[in-house]
Chain A
Amino acid sequence: MQTGQATAGGQVYEAAEQNLSARRKVWGRILIVAASLGLAIMVMWQLLDSMGVIATGFPNWRPVAFAYLVWAIALGAGQVMIHGENGHRALFLLPALLFTIAMVIFPTFFGLYIAFTDWNLSSFTGQKFNGLDNVRALVADEYFWNALLNMVYYVLSVAVQYAIAFGLALLLNAEIKARKFFRVAFLLPFMLSPVAISWMIGKSLMEYRFGPLATLMRHLGWESPAFFATPWIARLSIVAMDSWVWIPFIMILLLAGLQALPKEVQEAAKVDGATPWQSFWQITFPLMLPISVTAIVLRIIFQLKLADIVINTTSGGPGGATDTVSSFIFREYRDRSNVGYGTMVAEAYLIIIIIFITLLLKVLRRWMREENDA
């Protein structure tokens, strides 16, 4: 890794030129090479052991993890020895970088391997490579496509959440008393764990016989308030619970945006005789576009991971109507121990997400530019 001259906000501050002795640099290189060799030997040894070639390895791979840690430390020390001041700077970034690489890169590639096997934890024969069988199964799997379609509905519900959140942010930004109380109250749903919410709302408030929400619905004239019995109502119930949790998140971002708006513009509009309605659509809303886009994109990213509430309230039922891709894969792992196929679905979903988010960002960026030019 190389670190150049330091800049922050366009400013430059120079590292003091150091004269590092040639010997120090050589030792630094030797240290890194030795540590890398050590790590490589450990990996090879353990690999040979687990393949049954030699029988003197460790009982598990944990020593290799420690070897990685030692290697990381040696790498850092070597950086300082070779590059001096710049090496010190590299030390800031290295821990997070090495941690993320170890925790993400390896599992992702290993996941790709698992995805092409027929690995099932409950079968006795062990895993074997099965080529494109999982891909074929995936394309033919109605439950997967159904879950993916549900994700479209769930993502679309973000628009409704955004509208409600905007309304709430406007309310909180108005001149009101007890603002602190309302802010805390509005934030609370976001803090609670989805698992607890699944019981508190899904299984208790919405309970068919004596949940208060069901009672309320009976009073309002819905004779059999079964929230999770028919597909569309079940889907709406999940969306309602999910919105209850996540509206505060959007609301807080929008409120911060509202509070950062220049007051003069709105005052000027008022003086010019604009109605509140006009000044909202022609001034506030356009000014809030950037933060709105940020909030919606973040919200969509989190929405694509939706799982906990569905798993614990409906397990994807009735008939897969509320299933999300994550809850579908969860059941594949948990109930059928179908590791190989489940991982293939997960990898496919990741690719779909990456394509979708990239396209979304691209479209939004172009649209924002046009808005600015117009």
Chain B
Amino acid sequence: MAYPASSEPHPSGLLRHVTGRVFIYGALLLWAFICIFPIYWTVSTSLKKAPNVMKGNLIPWLDFQPDWLGWRSLGLSPDTIFNVSTVRDEFLLRFENSILVSIGAAALAIIIGSLAAYGLSRFQYRLGPWRNKDISFFFLSQLILPPVVLAMPFLVLYKELALLDTITGLVLVYTLMVLPIVIWIMRDQFDTIPIELEQAALVDGCSVWGAFLRIVLPIALPGIVAAFILAVVLSWNEYFFAALLTSTNAKTLPVMVASQTGSQGISWWSMAALSTAAIAPLVLIGVFLERYIVKGLTAGAVK
């Protein structure tokens, strides 16, 4: 049997090697194109005029003259940025809401999640018949719960608690949503930290909390960052609860995008500009913090 030769340049082996390479890079490039083209299409459409959209022009300057059309309707183009724009105010408000909600939920989930994960990683709890394994499973099992099950009770509950259409309300729901994932990631992180470090700190007179805050947390920082970023991304993209639990004040960006999608008269370039603005932070996170996303997703999955 022949196999791709690495050392001896046998002619047939070389041919096979070259075709193999061509196939690999062809497949890689094809999939990269599939992944990136929709994003490229959206960004470029935000710069097109109506005839360019209809003709399906693709490359700026070459087959269409870019224009700030979409961004002007959002009030974000260079010539309108200093003018008063209600659309821009609306957009910025939604953007700010999204930031507040996702950062707030991620922070809260990290705080209570890492505490619980540390406890579960280091101590033995007994809660009636439940041991650590059962408590961990209880937290993880929340992942299975589909949002629709909680949606209505939350709507009624929030009405009674005066939390409907508030940032706080959304933060609490999203914290609940990302908590299982945060606990999962952080537990995996804490399990890799040798316990001797804390034992030494305890001998030196640290309390359990002192050892946790001063010794363990700094070492666990990469895991915290990974969990935080993943939590931010998941909360940023969440639509279901935001659509049901908010109306005017606390509406987030996805809800705004969705409501624009539904309306008939909206022009393509405005919609494209809005979509671009909504996904831009995520694309930036994806490009620069990919390492942490991957770390977060694969935590505990590979043993």
- Complex CA distance for A59 and B161, rounded to whole angstroms: 9
Shortest Cβ distance from residue A85 to the other chain B in the assembled complex, whole angstroms? 7
- Complex CA distance for A291 and B278, rounded to whole angstroms: 33
| Given A210-B53, A253-B301, A273-B3, residue A171 in contact with residue B24 (CB < 8 A) | yes
Shortest Cβ distance from residue B170 to the other chain A in the assembled complex, whole angstroms? 13
**Scoring A residues 229 to 250 as 1 if CB is less than 8 Å from chain B, else 0, what string do you get?**
0000000000000001000110
- Answer yes or no: A274 CB below 8 A from chain B CBs: yes
Main secondary structure of the interface of A (DSSP, over half): helix
Complex contact B149–A111 (CB within 8 A):
yes
- Answer yes or no: B35 CB below 8 A from chain A CBs: yes
Shortest Cβ distance from residue B47 to the other chain A in the assembled complex, whole angstroms? 14
- Answer yes or no: B86 CB below 8 A from chain A CBs: no
- Chain A positions within 8 Å of B294 at CB level: 183, 187, 252, 256
- Chain B positions within 8 Å of A201 at CB level: 38
| Number of cross-chain contacts by CB at 8 Å | 315
| Given A103-B172, A205-B38, A212-B41, residue A307 in contact with residue B297 (CB < 8 A) | no
- Answer yes or no: A283 CB below 8 A from chain B CBs: no
Contact among A5, A203, A274, A304 with B1 in the assembled complex (CB-CB below 8 Å): A274
Shortest Cβ distance from residue B179 to the other chain A in the assembled complex, whole angstroms? 7
Task: Enumerate B166-190 residues with CB–CB distance to A below 8 Å.
Answer: 172-173, 175-176, 179, 183
Complex contact A92–B124 (CB within 8 A):
no
| Given A168-B31, A193-B279, residue A93 in contact with residue B135 (CB < 8 A) | yes
Complex contact A294–B25 (CB within 8 A):
no
Complex contact B285–A191 (CB within 8 A):
yes
**Scoring B residues 120 to 151 as 1 if CB is less than 8 Å from chain A, else 0, what string do you get?**
11111111000000010011001111111111
Task: Enumerate A46-67 residues with CB–CB distance to B below 8 Å.
Answer: 59-62, 65
- Complex CA distance for A205 and B41, rounded to whole angstroms: 8
Contact among B195, B207, B282 with A8 in the assembled complex (CB-CB below 8 Å): B195
Complex contact B41–A200 (CB within 8 A):
yes
Complex contact B278–A325 (CB within 8 A):
no
- Answer yes or no: A342 CB below 8 A from chain B CBs: yes
| Given A96-B115, A183-B290, residue A343 in contact with residue B153 (CB < 8 A) | yes
Contact among A114, A197, A291, A312 with B301 in the assembled complex (CB-CB below 8 Å): A291
- Chain B positions within 8 Å of A204 at CB level: 41-42, 45, 268, 271-272
Size band of the A side of the interface?
35 or more
Shortest Cβ distance from residue B203 to the other chain A in the assembled complex, whole angstroms? 10
- Complex CA distance for A210 and B255, rounded to whole angstroms: 26
- Answer yes or no: B100 CB below 8 A from chain A CBs: no
- Answer yes or no: A40 CB below 8 A from chain B CBs: no
Contact among A191, A200, A294, A330 with B240 in the assembled complex (CB-CB below 8 Å): A330
Task: Enumerate B205-224 residues with CB–CB distance to A below 8 Å.
Answer: 207-209, 212
Complex contact A198–B261 (CB within 8 A):
yes
Complex contact B24–A88 (CB within 8 A):
no
| Given A92-B116, A200-B41, A357-B144, residue A326 in contact with residue B240 (CB < 8 A) | yes
Complex contact B237–A192 (CB within 8 A):
yes
Among B53, B151, B162, residue most surrounded by chain A Cβ atoms (within 10 Å)? B151
Binds B, one of A20-28, A131-139, A346-354, A365-373: A346-354
Among A192, A196, A270, residue most surrounded by chain B Cβ atoms (within 10 Å)? A196
- Answer yes or no: A148 CB below 8 A from chain B CBs: no
- Answer yes or no: A220 CB below 8 A from chain B CBs: no
- Complex CA distance for A188 and B25, rounded to whole angstroms: 19
Closest A residue to B303 by beta carbon equals A290
Task: Enumerate A160-212 residues with CB–CB distance to B below 8 Å.
Answer: 167-168, 171-172, 174, 176, 181-189, 191-201, 203-205, 209-210, 212
| Given A194-B239, A257-B302, residue A90 in contact with residue B31 (CB < 8 A) | no
Shortest Cβ distance from residue B31 to the other chain A in the assembled complex, whole angstroms? 6
Complex contact B157–A3 (CB within 8 A):
no
Complex contact A312–B261 (CB within 8 A):
yes
| Given A96-B179, A196-B279, A274-B1, residue A89 in contact with residue B123 (CB < 8 A) | yes
**Scoring B residues 249 to 275 as 1 if CB is less than 8 Å from chain A, else 0, what string do you get?**
000011101100110000010011001
Which 10 residue pairs are nearest across A and B when measured between Cβ atoms? Answer: A92-B119, A107-B153, A96-B116, A193-B237, A256-B298, A195-B254, A4-B124, A61-B160, A111-B153, A95-B112
- Answer yes or no: B62 CB below 8 A from chain A CBs: no
Q: List 29 A-B contacts (CB under 8 A).
A: A2-B125, A2-B126, A3-B126, A62-B162, A89-B123, A93-B135, A97-B135, A100-B138, A167-B27, A171-B27, A187-B294, A188-B39, A189-B38, A191-B233, A191-B282, A192-B279, A196-B254, A196-B278, A204-B45, A244-B35, A253-B298, A253-B302, A273-B1, A301-B143, A308-B254, A339-B152, A342-B148, A346-B151, A350-B146
